[in-house]
Amino acid sequence: MRPTVSTVQCPRCASRCTVAPCPEDDGRPWTDEPLIIQEPVTGLYPVSEYHARLQGTTPFVMTDETNWNTYVRSDSSRYGKQQAFSPDFVTKPQNFMGFGAKSGTYKNILARPEIKKSLFPARKKEEEKKKANDDAKPPPRLPVQSGFVYDALLSYRIAACRYIGDKLDWSLCTYEIIANADNDYPCLIVKSPGGPTRRDVPDAKKLETNEKYWTRFAMAAFTGLVNRNAWTRGIPIELTMRSSFGFLAPSVAETGASFRINVGIVPVEYMNVLAESIADLYEIFSESFEEELKKAKPGDNFGKVAEKYNKGKREVFDKKQRAYDEYFAEEKKNQEASSRKRERSKSTGSDTPLAKKRKKAPPKPRKPVILGGDAKDSWGVLWAPGDSSGKTVLTQVADRSHRNLEGFSDLALKSPHTFLEGTVSLPDRFTLKKDSISLKLPTLLKLQSFDTYSPKGQKLIIDREFWSMIQLLVLALDTPYEKFAQFYDPSERWGHVGGLYGFLDRANVDFIRGHASAFIDVKDGYASDSDEEEDIEVGGRSELGVHGRELRFGLLDDDEVKERRSKKVHVYSKKHLTATGMRAIHLAHHCCRVYAGERGVKLTEIKVSADRMYYETKEAITKVPIQKDVPVDAEKRKQQQMKAASILFFDLNHCNAMQDANPRVAFEEFDLVVLDHTSATTSRVHFYLKEALRHDRVRLVLLVTSGIKNEQSGADFNTYGTVRVVARSREERDHLFDEVREVDRLADQTPYQHPKESHAVRRAYKEFGFVPKTKDFLRPGFTAPLRTQEPNPFRFSAPDVGTIVFEVLDVPADGDCLFAAISSVASDFFDPPRVRKQICDLLGEHMELVPSGMDLQVGLGFSTKRVDSQESYLAAMAEPLVWGGMTEIQAYSYKRTVLVFETAREPVFFRRGVEKKPPDIDWANLPKDTIFLAFYGNHYAALLARS
């Protein structure tokens, strides 16, 4: 794809823009390429459906408004009979939820026949199947370790959230913005600005409820603002209101008094749009917003509707009250008559007559709530009663129908002023149908043409890190590269994003249809394919680095290395696959109680801490069955008696709008630990697993995750959860694993088993690097490099000098990392292409360094370029994204002295082409122009010496 660059009149200069971009138009060319629209996907819907306005956003046809912004876990009507998580030997609390988010008992949608038919076409006859297998070539496999793509996607999202968070300062907004993405959470949590106070809603419980609805209202405005800001700048990426997270396209969802931005995989220019739109939201929802609503008086329409509604409700109430009064008046008469008859019977000695059968007493009528209350302005109307139950008017907007929120989002898309006008006129949008109140909003916007918002067309995206990540996705999903070439021109290293996310959605569907069938020969049920054991080093000090990576250069001295390697814990792990992430948490909870109960602990006396978990979890674990009793194992009680037990539930990426990053976890205070790693990289999981096992008191660790969030390339079809038992002995692991599997099997009162199609889809994604394996947590490998450049302390004990403290400046892993690392420390401005040219010129001057033939890796390392002469080597090295190495470092040493750490203990010194290694390096007299680099196995980063 080579974009046709727009030559329309530039709004910032008098000339007509051509391929050379207008210097006044932020240096980026435009293209009149149309948005690429995929063929609609029929018969298949994502678990989290949503409303899309822009052409090319998605290939799914989601026209049922009742399903927008819902999640299958809380909608039993769409996915069959409810399941009850209630084995025979447990009891159910009174407030037990049989079906829903907190009970974790919903079904996987791949069990539905129509979904199976769409994703898994009918199998061929055996002879046709055999012939097809004989003729078919094996699908290509990426030469990467398991979980590599999983780590890369998470690292990109984490860095994107950090980037946006760093931009939210006073320069963008005059109000303090409360937003957070701490603990490597791959989403941004934003506190909703404005909203009700105790003056508006005096009741504390109702105030909390209305704060949630206010968040939805603010979220709708934010969605419209983001889309307006992006589209008018020529960026055709749509933000949608959508439950859950982990999607490739950006989305937003309510989380109590805050909303969660799933940033997705987006270019840095769109990240800037998100940051500026958050600031816009704070400006709009500031005190002036409330003041404008307080100036506006409810119109005549609201008064008429309220009067008619209240009159009707009063008439109904009066009728019920009369019936109620008449009933008890009649009852009183009957009782008096019966009393007189009894007295006469006693005086005459006759039998007491039988009392007439009494009618059932009518319920005492509730006094009707006055619609609108005593509201005097539009702000007061929001918090006034909006129906006979007393729920507020805002509830009518934000809770009764998601369509209402989409309507207000449309208003914000038109302009902030239109949104304000729509809110001011909200009281006039109420209508009365018989005795029911409804809200009448304008017709929702249908699929929009991008030209409506950006007549110039699309702005070309020049963002190597973004396109490298998209290229990785395309390769990992085994998508034909020529389809990706519609969006990206590798020679120019730019591209457009119009229709890109619809293309990626379609790629996920095609991936499942093309690869999952290879793993379909399994059975329905809660299968496991993981059985691992490993020595984990837990000695010495450890520190969690930026973005959750353990500091690989954080060892202080040789003694600590010895201590670290001398103390090891041998662990045994096994994985169980279940229906959902929440159900995995319940199973882990049950497993911990079994462990403690067998050792003599009363189940009612077990202490549980779940403060650092997803906001629904703490309530959820009180809404599942609690086992009555666990048979005490006499041998275990004798050998490992526990007088008490405490369970820690800890989300490795726990995040809310008001908290500190990377809190210290007191693992030493707990006996049993459940770690939720739904959004954690493999290295972060390994770090916390090691930190827990460091303490002898911690007897058992369980790893739980929700697989639909981050493990399947943003595809939103396959819900499942995993429980990994990590025990200190093989016998404990096997026993507890069997217990988990058994209680999961007994929990189903309906004939449901986790469908084999779910296992097949998961295994296909795992084969291509999207799903980590248990061994990746026990012994993690290379973690994808970071997007941002943030300090990361590295200490080296140099002879005759002492400890040298460095800061690590990480750079993008796109094939230019060596040249980017050198550029970041060797000059005052960042210009990797200039450094590449300098090195190529130096290689030309020193041909003795140039190899005569080899394979050079390109880009992300999935392709190579063969060179068979010195001339072809120089020509290839001059091209972008071709990897550099020690040859290029040695050549650059003719310009600057270079000291590179191939490992934390093995530095190599280069000066004017001469190589030195310890002990020949004179640390006390290093040249002042020395630059320092670090090599991570297949990635270079820069080092800055601080002391």
pLDDT value at residue 233:
94
Judged by average pLDDT, the poorest of 148-157, 476-485, 522-531, 670-679 is 522-531
CB contact at 8 A, 105 and 85: yes
For the chain, what is the radius of gyration of the CA atoms? 33
Region 89-93: mean pLDDT is 34
CB contact at 8 A, 154 and 783: no
The secondary structure of 106-164 as a DSSP string is PPPGGGSHHHHHHHSPPPPPHHHHHHHHHHPPPPP--SS-TTHHHHHHHHHHHHHHHHH
CB contact at 8 A, 553 and 934: yes
Give per-residue pLDDT as tens, 555-587.
Answer: 334 444 445 445 788 899 999 988 888 888 888
CB contact at 8 A, 16 and 9: yes
In this structure, what are the phi and psi dihedrals at residue 188, rounded to the nearest 5 degrees?
Answer: -110, 125
Tokens representing residue 486 in the block: 């519609």
Give per-residue pLDDT as tens, 321-335.
Answer: 888 888 888 888 888
Q: According to the 3-state scheme, what is the secondary structure of 643-683?
A: CCCEEEEEECCCCCCCCCCCCCCCHHHCCEEEEECCCCCHH
Tokens representing residue 198 in the block: 């105790």
**C-alpha distance from residue 687 to each of 230, 570, 707 (Å):** 38, 15, 20
Tokens representing residue 399 in the block: 């809770």
% of the chain with per-residue pLDDT over 70: 77
Judge if pTM exceeds 0.85: no
Question: Bridge-partner residues for 867, per DSSP?
Answer: 854
The beta strand positions in 410-474, using DSSP E, are 430-433, 436-439, 458-459
Q: How far apart are CA 273 and CA 284, in angstroms?
A: 16
Query: How far is C-alpha 758 from the geometric centre of its chain's CA atoms?
Result: 20
Q: Give the pLDDT band of residue 888 (cuts 50, 70, 90).
A: very high
832's enclosing H/E stretch is: helix 832-845
Q: How many CB atoms lie within 10 A of CB 799?
A: 11
Average pLDDT, the chain: 78
Residue 16 has pLDDT above 50, yes or no: no
Within 251-401, where are the H helices? 268-284, 287-295, 300-348, 378-383, 393-398
Q: How far apart are CA 560 and CA 544, in angstroms?
A: 17
607: Cβ–Cβ under 8 A, 6 or more apart, which residues? 644, 645, 646, 647
Q: How far apart are CA 452 and CA 445, in angstroms?
A: 12
Which residue has 């291509």 as its token pair?
Answer: 768
CB contact at 8 A, 933 and 942: yes
pLDDT value at residue 922:
87
Which of 896, 895, 864, 907 lies closest to 882, judged by CA? 864
CB contact at 8 A, 251 and 238: no
Residue 73 has pLDDT above 50, yes or no: no
Q: Which amino acid is at 389?
A: S
In this structure, what are the phi and psi dihedrals at residue 716, rounded to the nearest 5 degrees?
Answer: -120, 55
911's enclosing H/E stretch is: strand 906-911
Q: How far apart are CA 399 and CA 906, in angstroms?
A: 61
CB contact at 8 A, 218 and 419: no
Work out whether the CA dihedral 881, 886, 889, 891 comes out positive or negative.
negative
Q: How many CB atoms lie within 10 A of CB 731?
A: 10
855: Cβ–Cβ under 8 A, 6 or more apart, which residues? 864, 865, 866, 867
Residue 278 has pLDDT above 80, yes or no: yes
Q: How far apart are CA 713 and CA 771, in angstroms?
A: 9
Give per-residue pLDDT as tens, 500-552.
Answer: 999 999 999 999 998 888 888 777 776 665 677 776 766 554 444 333 333 33
Q: Give the pLDDT band of residue 895 (cuts 50, 70, 90).
A: very high
Which is higher by pLDDT, 714 or 637? 714
